[in-house]
Amino acid sequence: MRFEKIAIVAAPLRNGDTDTEAQVARRTLAARYGDVASAEADVVVALGGDGFMLHMLHDVMDRGTPIYGMNRGSVGFLMNEYREDGLVERLAAAEAIQLHPLRMRAECVDGEVVEELAINEVSLLRATRQAAKVRLSVDGVVRLEEMICDGVLVATPAGSTAYNLSAAGPIVPLGAEVLALTPISAFRPRRWRGALLPAAAGISIEVLDPIDRSVNATADFTEVCGVRRVSVAEDRSVAPTLLFDPEHNLAERVLKEQFAP
């Protein structure tokens, strides 16, 4: 792949910072390789951590511009190694991976309906001191009549190593064509540890007591308060593209996480 116009973006300053590694790297790379607005670019080079990459994927999703990340954050699971030299050559040799986000449709107690996309996961969490009570259905069939829990989430393969893994959910290899349905601190049924579902499955989560046991839903970083029902399904009409160095592709990283000590 050859890219004529490169946009170089960095995680914004926060908490009173006057400068960051990401901002310094952006100025250095822009001076060396040029820089155009992301709306005009053939490729976006994102400097920061995984959280910033997630925001950038949402920003370019409608345009389909591929993103090549370099780690100037903490974990950097979705990022390549940062190096100043050879950026043009690395972009030309990079391997592309397309991600398929989840589409969340949240119906709220007040009648509002909100739709959002999620690259990593859609999660529901209790908003009061009381545990949530939810009913889980898959493709119109009730699979759990009632679960008492702190919440529940649906994760993509790309997001299975994030919040899903912290909630003791399974790591899902890219290309497996499955989604992880994972409970968060389930009290009843105690022995249910979640399910792996076909990527084409339609998942419905109904909040059984949405007034006294209020629940909020989040698609990546967009939160919807006071939901009564949430539907989740993979949206294959949208396919943001990530670029990786051949020796550090995302599929290999996800696979290696299953053998991490």
Whether 50 is catalytic is yes
Q: Could you tell me if 136 and 215 lie in one domain? A: yes
Residue 172 belongs to some domain of the structure: yes
Q: Could you tell me if 212 and 160 lie in one domain? A: yes
Residue 65 belongs to some domain of the structure: yes
Q: What is the CATH number of the domain that holds 23?
A: 3.40.50.10330
Q: Could you tell me if 91 and 211 lie in one domain? A: no
Looking at residue 258, its pLDDT comes to 84
Q: Could you tell me if 160 and 213 lie in one domain? A: yes
Q: 85 lies in which domain range? A: 6-99+239-257
Q: Is 15 helix (H, G, I), strand (E, B) or coil?
A: coil
Residue 1 belongs to some domain of the structure: no
> pLDDT band for position 261 (50/70/90)?
confident
Q: Could you tell me if 109 and 200 lie in one domain? A: yes
- pTM to 2 decimal places: 0.91
Q: Could you tell me if 145 and 247 lie in one domain? A: no
Q: Could you tell me if 50 and 120 lie in one domain? A: no
- Average pLDDT of the chain to the nearest whole number: 94
Number of domains in the chain: 2
Annotated catalytic residue, options 19, 35, 50, 209: 50
Q: Tell me what the mean pLDDT of segment 98-105 comes to.
A: 96
Q: State pLDDT tens for residues 155-182.
A: 999 999 999 999 999 999 988 999 999 9
Q: Could you tell me if 67 and 134 lie in one domain? A: no
Q: Could you tell me if 145 and 218 lie in one domain? A: yes
